[in-house]
């Protein structure tokens, strides 16, 4: 039973990183190459992975719906990149 729960948790986490984090990283790298997200991708990757792991149910819910994922990406990019870096 534990293996099933762990498989669902990890697959949801991988799906969220693939569907949410990867487009956020690509868009922010193109939008602001000198931002913190673009300059330190490994550190930000593990930070986002930890945040997604803690808030797993909400992140999976956002990654399953296209409307929620687009609004999540826009809000994340607006919070991660300041107006001066753009």
Domain residues for the domain of 31 are: 11-80
- Statement: residue 67 has pLDDT above 80: yes
* Residue (of 27, 32, 17) closest to 74 by Cα position: 27
Relative orientation angle of helices 41-54 and 22-31, to the nearest 10 degrees: 140
Residue 56 lies in a domain: yes
Residue 1 lies in a domain: no
The structure tokens 């409307």 sit at 67
pLDDT score for 49? 93
- Statement: residue 6 has pLDDT above 90: yes
- Statement: residue 84 has pLDDT above 80: no
- Statement: residue 27 has pLDDT above 80: yes
The pLDDT tens digits of the residues spanning 49-64 come to 999 999 988 888 888 8
Residue 86 lies in a domain: no
- Contact call for residues 12 and 56 (beta carbons, < 8 A): yes
Residue 5 lies in a domain: no
pLDDT score for 8? 92
């Amino acid at each position: 039973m534990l293996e099933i729960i762990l498989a669902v948790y990890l697959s949801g986490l991988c799906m969220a990183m693939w569907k949410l984090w990867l487009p956020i990283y690509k868009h922010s790298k193109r939008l602001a190459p000198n931002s913190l997200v673009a300059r330190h991708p490994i550190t930000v990757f593990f930070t986002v992975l930890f945040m997604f792991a803690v808030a797993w149910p909400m992140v999976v819910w956002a990654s399953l719906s296209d409307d929620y994922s687009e609004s999540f990406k826009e809000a994340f990019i607006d919070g991660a990149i300041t107006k001066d870096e753009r």
